């Protein structure tokens, strides 16, 4: 990590891969990750941690499977949302988006439980920012 400010627009411009988050910095035992996203991710759940999303650009949809059924939340630019631990969810961005996430260091992008992982989704715990 660096002890210098990190302009997020420059960090996002440094990579092109979709659904492949980069670790911008760490806060205590949490990664601050950014990602470019388009299309669908995969249904998954993080059993022991919440997942925080902030939409930096574009629009993100998150489908949720909850006790009362399925619902989708729509996050425009500037919106935040936290998926509670254990909740099955599937992010998707029909027109593309740039997002920032807070997750405990080492949290896999496809959670602890997931559907089959498509080729366009990077099953990772985050990549260093180049």
List the CATH number of the domain containing 24.
2.60.120.10
The answer to the question of residue 90 being in a domain is yes
Tell me the three state secondary structure of residue 9. helix
Give the domain range for residue 109.
8-121
Residue pLDDT tens, the chain, 130 long: 678 899 999 999 999 999 999 999 999 999 999 999 999 999 999 999 999 999 999 999 999 999 999 999 999 999 999 999 999 999 999 999 999 999 999 999 998 888 889 899 999 999 999 7
Closest CA to 101 of 9, 19, 43, 44: 19
The answer to the question of residue 28 being in a domain is yes
Q: How many domains does the chain have?
A: 1
The answer to the question of residue 55 being in a domain is yes
The answer to the question of residue 130 being in a domain is no
Read off the pTM. Answer: 0.94
Residue 24 near residue 32, CB atoms below 8 Å = yes
The answer to the question of residue 113 being in a domain is yes
How many Å apart are CA 129 and CA 126, to the nearest integer? Answer: 9
Tell me the three state secondary structure of residue 12. helix
The answer to the question of residue 100 being in a domain is yes
Is residue 52 packed enough to be buried (19+ CB in 10 Å), middle (13-18) or exposed (0-12)?
A: middle
The answer to the question of residue 53 being in a domain is yes
């Amino acid at each position: 990590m660096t002890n210098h400010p990190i302009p997020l627009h420059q960090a996002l411009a440094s990579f092109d891969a979709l659904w492949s988050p980069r670790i911008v910095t760490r806060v205590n035992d949490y990664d601050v990750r950014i990602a470019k996203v388009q299309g669908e991710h995969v249904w998954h759940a993080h059993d022991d941690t919440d997942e925080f999303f902030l939409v930096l650009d574009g629009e993100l949809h998150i489908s949720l499977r909850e006790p009362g059924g399925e619902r989708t939340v729509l996050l425009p630019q500037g919106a935040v949302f936290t998926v509670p631990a254990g909740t099955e969810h599937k992010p998707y961005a029909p027109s593309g988006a740039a997002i920032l996430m807070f997750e405990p260091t080492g949290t896999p992008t496809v959670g602890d439980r997931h559907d089959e992982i498509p080729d366009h989704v990077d099953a990772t715990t985050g990549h260093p920012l180049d």
